[in-house]
């Protein structure tokens, strides 16, 4: 990848639509000269200048404040010019067109942030935090993204990387003295160091998972045997007729999503096809998706027909043992002879999607699960993404493997596992990222970021 851009990019940086002020951003070697050709006076670095910006016909397009940030002291690390004109989409589009006529190119989505990353102004996790800050749904998510943008998350990652680098140096050095047993080369010390690194990783994983939840919300799936009332419950919780409710077993073939917000956390409810064997190709595809949803979920809401819960529990089986939280929902409580039946088990709740009985209780339990471990204010809380949590998990796997290899004095294999752990963490900050990964990350940004 070429880290020194030779072209100058332009984009509207403010939100689409009309506003009091609209900002155009130019970045690249020709940014200042394009501003001059538009009508800007001689620019002093980081000073506000008034200018009348003109089109090819010399007609004034708009008057504007012009700011020049010479390289490398700018957001992208390149020459940057900001034009603050009136927030008219028509005027701003005319200015963009004029800049392009004068030699700039329309910026791709995320290209300003990408250049900032490539020029070492931000690491990858920080660049992602910009997008997360802009998209934050509440003040807490915004504050967490702000911290990641400030490098709080990246520093935690760097801290583990430093631990791993020291271990790699030790192990690589020991390989060069292959005749000696590891113990005489400080093997116990290396294994203690690795244990400490693994502890740091576990804490990082926990906090990154929390940060991911702040960004994405808690993910929950509704699951259970056909006709237990999953779709009805989804509708009752979401307050809409989103899912199709019918009497025929196996009607819910696709996964349907509904999002509800509880105390600033997002619960995505996925109504899955009943987990049963057989069925046609479409139903099997529904089941495959259901299993994929279960694998990545934080919370399984297991919906049972209150009249025959045992049958439902048996049908679900072992498929979700790894899910962090489970709540057993006995639905259709209105059909029970003893309608007043409650539950003292904190993981079980009796409801009726039809009458609404017990829904308040269910809401309360969902709220408490949603805020468990995330409800209290955590010092140094930062935002993270699934991609980051995955990378930390891979690093943990490799660190565990490394420990096993060390125990057997397989130094080369241990060194390789430590390298892989290091590489996995390097993907978070972008030290180790492939071009296609970068492309995917930055293309998900908006234009003008
Ligand atoms: P799913 O297959 O688990 O999604 O179940 P549905 O939501 O499609 O519901 C299956 C049938 O049970 C429908 O006829 C619903 O009207 C009915 N049903 C759902 N919840 C309740 C409930 O709480 N009480 C009663 N009496 N019927 C319900
Ligand atoms: Zn359904």
**Please, which residues have CB within 8 angstroms of residue 95's CB and are 6 or more apart in sequence?**
24, 38, 53, 61, 62, 83, 85
The best mutation among 230, 232, 302 to test binding of ligand 1, ranked by most ligand atoms within 8 Å of the C-beta, falls on: 232
User: For residue 65, is it within any domain?
Assistant: yes
The best mutation among 222, 227, 253, 283 to test binding of ligand 1, ranked by most ligand atoms within 8 Å of the C-beta, falls on: 227
Task: Please indicate, yes or no, whether residues 199 and 328 belong to a single structural domain of this protein.
Answer: no
User: For residue 206, is it within any domain?
Assistant: yes
Compute the distance from residue 245 Cα to the ligand 1 centre, in Å.
Answer: 7
Candidate from 112-116, 161-165, 336-340 with smallest mean pLDDT: 336-340
**Span 186-190, mean pLDDT?**
82
CA distance 324 to 231: 23
**Span 222-244, mean pLDDT?**
77
**Span 289-304, mean pLDDT?**
79
Compute the distance from residue 311 Cα to the ligand 2 centre, in Å.
Answer: 17
- Contact predicate 203/281, CB 8 Å: no
Higher pLDDT pick, 119 / 212: 119
User: For residue 20, is it within any domain?
Assistant: yes
Nearest ligand to the CA of 245 is: 1
Nearest ligand to the CA of 286 is: 2
Q: Is the pLDDT reported for residue 1 higher than 50?
A: no
User: For residue 188, is it within any domain?
Assistant: yes
Give the residue numbers spanning the domain of 87.
Answer: 9-122
Nearest CA to ligand 1 atom 19: 229
Q: Is the pLDDT reported for residue 380 higher than 60?
A: yes
Higher pLDDT pick, 169 / 60: 60
The answer to the question of whether 241 is labelled as a binding residue is: no
Q: Is the pLDDT reported for residue 376 higher than 60?
A: no
Nearest ligand to the CA of 350 is: 1
Q: Which atom of ligand 1 is nearest to the CA of 245?
A: 8
Compute the distance from residue 256 Cα to the ligand 2 centre, in Å.
Answer: 9
Mean pLDDT of the chain: 85
Task: Please indicate, yes or no, whether residues 237 and 350 belong to a single structural domain of this protein.
Answer: yes
Q: How many CB atoms lie within 10 A of CB 360?
A: 10
Compute the distance from residue 337 Cα to the ligand 2 centre, in Å.
Answer: 24
Task: Please indicate, yes or no, whether residues 279 and 176 belong to a single structural domain of this protein.
Answer: no
Instruction: Tell me which residues have their CB closer than 6 angstroms to ligand 1.
Output: 224, 226-232, 245-247, 252, 303, 331-332, 334-335, 352-354
Which pLDDT does position 319 carry in this prediction? 62
Give the closest residue to 79 by CA, choosing from 127, 112, 41, 128. Answer: 112
Instruction: Name the pLDDT band for 385 (thresholds 50, 70, 90).
Output: very high
Candidate from 11-20, 211-220, 237-246 with smallest mean pLDDT: 237-246
Task: Please indicate, yes or no, whether residues 84 and 15 belong to a single structural domain of this protein.
Answer: yes
How many independent structural domains does the chain possess?
Answer: 3
Higher pLDDT pick, 254 / 5: 5
CATH number for the domain that contains residue 316: 3.40.50.300
Chain-centre distance for alpha carbon 225: 31
Task: Please indicate, yes or no, whether residues 330 and 385 belong to a single structural domain of this protein.
Answer: no
Candidate from 180-189, 244-253, 285-294, 432-441 with smallest mean pLDDT: 244-253
The answer to the question of whether 247 is labelled as a binding residue is: yes
Compute the distance from residue 312 Cα to the ligand 2 centre, in Å.
Answer: 14
Which pLDDT does position 407 carry in this prediction? 92
* Domain-ending residue, one of 371, 398, 414: 371
* Domain-ending residue, one of 72, 87, 122: 122
Q: Which atom of ligand 1 is nearest to the CA of 247?
A: 14
**Span 45-63, mean pLDDT?**
97
Report every protein residue that has its C-beta within 5 angstroms of ion ligand 2: 230-231, 252
Higher pLDDT pick, 419 / 256: 419
Task: Please indicate, yes or no, whether residues 410 and 350 belong to a single structural domain of this protein.
Answer: no
Task: Please indicate, yes or no, whether residues 103 and 246 belong to a single structural domain of this protein.
Answer: no
Which pLDDT does position 17 carry in this prediction? 85
Which pLDDT does position 215 carry in this prediction? 83
Task: Please indicate, yes or no, whether residues 356 and 254 belong to a single structural domain of this protein.
Answer: yes
Higher pLDDT pick, 174 / 27: 27
pTM above 0.80, yes or no: no
Task: Please indicate, yes or no, whether residues 425 and 299 belong to a single structural domain of this protein.
Answer: no
Nearest CA to ligand 1 atom 10: 227
Vertex 124: Cα angle to 120 and 116 (nearest 5): 40
The answer to the question of whether 449 is labelled as a binding residue is: yes
Nearest CA to ligand 1 atom 8: 245
Compute the distance from residue 335 Cα to the ligand 2 centre, in Å.
Answer: 19
Compute the distance from residue 247 Cα to the ligand 1 centre, in Å.
Answer: 7
Q: Is the pLDDT reported for residue 2 higher than 50?
A: no
**Span 198-224, mean pLDDT?**
87
pLDDT in tens, 120-137: 999 999 999 999 999 887
Main-chain phi, psi angles of 269, to 5 degrees: -95, 130
Which pLDDT does position 273 carry in this prediction? 56
DSSP string spanning 196-232? HHHHHHHHHHHHHHHHHHHHH--BEEEE-STTSSHHH
Instruction: Name the pLDDT band for 390 (thresholds 50, 70, 90).
Output: very high
Which pLDDT does position 87 carry in this prediction? 94
Task: Please indicate, yes or no, whether residues 246 and 362 belong to a single structural domain of this protein.
Answer: yes
Which pLDDT does position 117 carry in this prediction? 95
User: For residue 449, is it within any domain?
Assistant: no
**Please, which residues have CB within 8 angstroms of residue 40's CB and are 6 or more apart in sequence?**
49, 51, 53, 66, 81
Nearest CA to ligand 1 atom 17: 229
Exposed/middle/buried for 50, CB within 10 Å: 0-12, 13-18, 19+? exposed
DSSP string spanning 53-117? EE-TTS-EEEEEEEEEE-TTSSSSSS-EEEEEEEE-HHHHHHHHHHHHHTT-EEPPTTHHHHHHH
Which pLDDT does position 246 carry in this prediction? 54
pLDDT in tens, 323-359: 778 899 999 999 988 755 566 777 899 999 999 999 9
CA distance 271 to 41: 61
pLDDT in tens, 135-144: 887 788 899 9
Higher pLDDT pick, 3 / 197: 197
Which pLDDT does position 235 carry in this prediction? 81
**Span 205-230, mean pLDDT?**
84
Bond into 371 cis (ω within 30): no
The answer to the question of whether 229 is labelled as a binding residue is: yes
Q: Which atom of ligand 1 is nearest to the CA of 225?
A: 3
Q: Is the pLDDT reported for residue 250 higher than 60?
A: no
pLDDT in tens, 256-287: 566 666 655 566 666 665 555 666 777 677 67
Which pLDDT does position 298 carry in this prediction? 80
Compute the distance from residue 371 Cα to the ligand 2 centre, in Å.
Answer: 27
The answer to the question of whether 248 is labelled as a binding residue is: yes
């Amino acid at each position: 990848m070429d880290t020194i851009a030779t072209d100058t990019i332009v984009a509207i940086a403010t939100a689409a639509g009309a506003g009091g002020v609209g900002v155009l951003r130019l970045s690249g070697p020709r940014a200042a000269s394009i501003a001059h050709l538009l009508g800007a006076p001689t620019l002093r670095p980081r000073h506000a200048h008034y200018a009348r910006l003109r089109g090819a016909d010399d007609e004034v397009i708009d008057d504007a404040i012009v700011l020049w940030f010479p390289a490398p002291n700018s957001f992208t690390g390149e020459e940057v010019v900001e034009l603050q004109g009136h927030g008219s989409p028509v005027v701003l589009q005319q200015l963009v067109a004029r800049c392009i006529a004068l030699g700039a190119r329309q910026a791709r989505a995320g290209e300003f942030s990408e250049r900032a990353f490539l020029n070492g102004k931000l690491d990858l996790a920080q660049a992602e935090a910009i997008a997360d800050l802009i998209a934050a749904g509440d003040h807490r998510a915004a504050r967490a993204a702000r911290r990641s943008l400030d490098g709080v998350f990246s520093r935690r990652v760097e801290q583990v990387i430093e631990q791993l680098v020291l271990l790699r140096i030790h192990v690589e050095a020991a390989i060069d003295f292959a005749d000696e047993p590891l113990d005489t080369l400080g093997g116990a010390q290396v294994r203690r160091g690795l244990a400490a690194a693994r502890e740091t990783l576990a804490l990082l994983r926990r906090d990154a998972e929390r940060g991911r939840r702040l960004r994405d919300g808690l993910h929950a799936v509704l699951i259970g045997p056909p006709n237990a009332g999953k779709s009805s419950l989804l509708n009752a919780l979401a307050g809409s007729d989103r899912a199709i409710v019918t009497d025929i077993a196996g009607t819910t073939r696709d996964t349907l999503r509904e999002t509800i917000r509880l105390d600033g956390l997002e619960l995505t409810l996925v109504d899955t096809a009943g987990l049963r064997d057989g069925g046609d190709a479409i139903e099997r595809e529904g089941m495959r998706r259901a299993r994929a949803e279960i694998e990545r979920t934080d919370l399984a809401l297991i919906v049972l027909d209150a009249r025959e819960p045992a049958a439902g529990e048996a049908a679900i089986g072992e498929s979700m043992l790894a899910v962090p939280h489970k709540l057993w929902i006995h639905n259709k409580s209105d059909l029970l002879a003893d309608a007043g039946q409650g539950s003292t088990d904190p993981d079980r709740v009796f409801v009726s999607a039809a009458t609404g009985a017990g829904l308040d209780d269910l809401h309360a339990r969902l709220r408490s699960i949603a805020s468990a471990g995330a409800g209290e204010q955590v010092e140094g809380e930062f935002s993270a993404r699934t991609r980051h949590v995955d990378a930390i998990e891979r690093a943990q796997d490799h660190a565990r493997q490394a420990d096993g290899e060390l125990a057997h004095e397989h130094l080369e294999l241990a060194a390789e596992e430590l390298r892989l752990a290091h590489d996995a963490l390097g993907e978070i900050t972008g030290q180790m990222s492939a071009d296609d990964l970068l492309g995917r990350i930055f293309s998900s940004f908006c234009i003008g970021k």
